[in-house]
């Protein structure tokens, strides 16, 4: 039986003028955010502060992860005008730090790495003072794809392991835990000054020991920053919530992560991998 939602997960959604202005601007620019596509519970809070995580390369994913609200199917053709529109929007919103993510594009020969690189390059040219974090897919383990993104020189490279390895077959069947760890490890080897980051959701049926083992694995891949948040099921067709993890356990995870050597750790029920990304980047 799915547990009832506890009080600490009830959040008032701010829907002020700032939120509406942001929604209108994104729509006019024909840009998408993962905030909207994944129904993020922090959307009101982030939009009211002028913060968003851009979703590039369409809104249809080639994978079918059971935790994710994004549609799966045949993706759209790449939009060559997207990098410039995104840079113009970042300028218009006056952002100092931007997070960019994408759907997984296993249909493209380079997994979309070239498009990521173009977005970073255009942003650098148009908005030279903006910090850039990319939250990338695993590119099916392609060294060349990862190299292309790193050559474009983002400040932060984020790749989520999402859950503990035992749950991969039921939560993200087309992904591979070891491949994700290898990507993070390789990124650091290719460019040691790069800040690397990863995150996982809890409440999917993992044990505390398994979460600690993931932290140890991420540290052994030289990952700098970790994010841990509560999984919320987008619909009854998705993976169910097995547990609502108590805030004190999140705090314990945060202390465990710092003890294990992460430069910073964000761990609380509403944390998402891009939540307050600028704050966690500036602190590292």
For ligand SF4, the binding residues (CB under 6 A) are: 34-35, 40, 42-43, 46, 51-53, 272, 274-275
CA distance 190 to 141: 14
Nearer to ligand SF4 among residue 53 and residue 62 (C-beta): 53
Instruction: In angstroms, give the least distance from the CB of 266 to ligand SF4.
Output: 10
The angle at the Cα of 190, spanning 97 to 183, to the nearest 5 degrees, equals 80
Instruction: In angstroms, give the least distance from the CB of 185 to ligand SF4.
Output: 25
- In what side-by-side order are the strands of the sheet with 131-135? 32-33, 53-56, 97-102, 131-135, 156-158, 195-202, 225-230, 264-267
Nearer to ligand SF4 among residue 22 and residue 175 (C-beta): 22
Instruction: In angstroms, give the least distance from the CB of 217 to ligand SF4.
Output: 24
Nearer to ligand SF4 among residue 34 and residue 181 (C-beta): 34
User: Could you tell me whether strands 32-33 and 53-56 are parallel, antiparallel, or unpaired per DSSP bridges?
Assistant: antiparallel
Phi, psi of 269 (to 5 degrees): -50, -40
Smallest CA-to-CA distance from 182 within 154, 153, 142, 216 is with 142
Instruction: In angstroms, give the least distance from the CB of 88 to ligand SF4.
Output: 19
Instruction: In angstroms, give the least distance from the CB of 268 to ligand SF4.
Output: 12
Nearer to ligand SF4 among residue 37 and residue 217 (C-beta): 37
Instruction: In angstroms, give the least distance from the CB of 260 to ligand SF4.
Output: 24
Nearer to ligand SF4 among residue 210 and residue 278 (C-beta): 278
Cα–Cα distances (Å) from 95 to 123, 167, 231, in that order, read 11, 37, 28
* Alpha helix ranges (H) inside the chain: 17-28, 34-37, 43-48, 82-93, 113-126, 143-151, 168-171, 177-190, 208-220, 247-259, 277-283
Token couple for 30: 């024909």
Token couple for 138: 């695993």
The rounded Cα 145 to chain-centroid distance in angstroms is: 18
CA distance 252 to 250: 5
Nearer to ligand SF4 among residue 40 and residue 215 (C-beta): 40
Nearer to ligand SF4 among residue 221 and residue 225 (C-beta): 225
Nearer to ligand SF4 among residue 51 and residue 152 (C-beta): 51
Cα–Cα distances (Å) from 14 to 83, 102, 163, in that order, read 30, 26, 30
Instruction: In angstroms, give the least distance from the CB of 253 to ligand SF4.
Output: 18
Instruction: In angstroms, give the least distance from the CB of 119 to ligand SF4.
Output: 17
């Amino acid at each position: 039986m799915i547990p009832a939602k506890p009080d600490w997960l009830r959040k008032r959604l701010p829907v002020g003028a700032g939120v509406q202005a942001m929604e209108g601007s994104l729509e006019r620019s024909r840009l998408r955010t993962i905030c909207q596509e994944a129904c993020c519970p922090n959307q009101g809070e982030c939009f009211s502060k002028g913060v968003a995580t851009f979703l590039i390369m369409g809104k249809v994913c080639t994978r079918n992860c059971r935790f994710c609200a994004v549609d799966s199917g045949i993706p759209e053709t790449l939009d060559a005008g997207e990098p410039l529109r995104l840079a113009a929007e970042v300028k218009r919103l006056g952002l100092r730090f931007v997070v960019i993510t994408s759907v997984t594009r296993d249909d493209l020969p380079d997994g979309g790495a070239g498009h990521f690189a173009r977005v970073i390059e255009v942003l650098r040219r148009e908005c030279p003072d903006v910090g850039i974090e990319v939250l990338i897919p695993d590119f099916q383990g392609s060294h060349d794809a990862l190299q292309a993104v790193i050559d474009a020189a983002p400040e932060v490279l984020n790749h989520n392991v999402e859950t503990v390895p035992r749950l991969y077959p039921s939560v993200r069947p087309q992904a591979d835990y070891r491949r994700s760890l290898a990507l993070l490890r390789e990124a650091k080897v290719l460019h040691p000054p790069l800040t690397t980051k990863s995150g996982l959701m809890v409440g999917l049926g993992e044990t505390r020991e398994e979460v600690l083992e993931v932290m140890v694995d991420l540290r052994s891949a030289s990952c700098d920053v970790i994010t841990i948040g509560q999984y919320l099921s987008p619909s009854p067709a998705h993976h169910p919530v097995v547990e609502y993890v108590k805030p004190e356990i999140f705090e314990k995870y945060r202390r465990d992560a710092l003890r294990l050597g992460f430069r910073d750790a964000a761990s609380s029920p509403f944390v998402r991998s891009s939540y307050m990304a600028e704050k966690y980047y500036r602190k590292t």
